[in-house]
Amino acid sequence: MPDESKKKLTVKDPVPKEVLVVLEQLAKARGSLADQLLEMEQRRITFLAAAKRVEDQRKAVFEEILTSRGLAPGTPVNISSSTGEITLTSPLEGGHPEETPSEETPSEETR
């Protein structure tokens, strides 16, 4: 049985002040979250740009290592981090970490 003590509202009835206050608070919270999200995205872009520079430098070092030895850039190799020894790998071996000893750097293909 419906509560008959409540008056049925129409579009001509104004929204109560306390509800307007809640709506304003929610709008401010939403704006604050939007600002925080924008700041976070701007930091993310900075991190992505830094990561790109590091990766470009890494690729350049690998290319220098390979080309100075007469190898084509992108040739799959393993480089021992303890001895610096370079081992040519087949394309199938280069992409499988379980076949690459842990003391070696990832092959050219896995970067």
> 25-29, 41-45, 73-77, 98-102: which has the minimum mean pLDDT?
98-102
Q: What are the domain boundaries of the chain?
A: 15-70, 76-111
Q: What letter represents residue 74's amino acid?
A: G
User: For residue 98, with 0-12 CB atoms within 10 Å meaning exposed, 13-18 middle and 19 or more buried, which class applies?
Assistant: exposed
pLDDT score of 3 more than 80 = no
φ/ψ of 91, rounded to 5, equals -55, -30
Q: How far apart are CA 25 and CA 8, in angstroms?
A: 27
Mean pLDDT (whole number) for 17-45 = 98
Tens digit of pLDDT for each residue in 48-95? 999 999 999 999 999 999 999 999 998 999 999 999 999 998 766 554
Burial 40-74 (b: 16+ CB within 10 A, else e): eeeeeeeeeeeeeeeeeeeeeebbebbeeeebeee
Q: pTM (2 decimals)?
A: 0.56
pLDDT of residue 91: 67
Give 97's pLDDT tier (boundaries 50, 70, 90). very low
Q: How far apart are CA 67 and CA 93, in angstroms?
A: 21
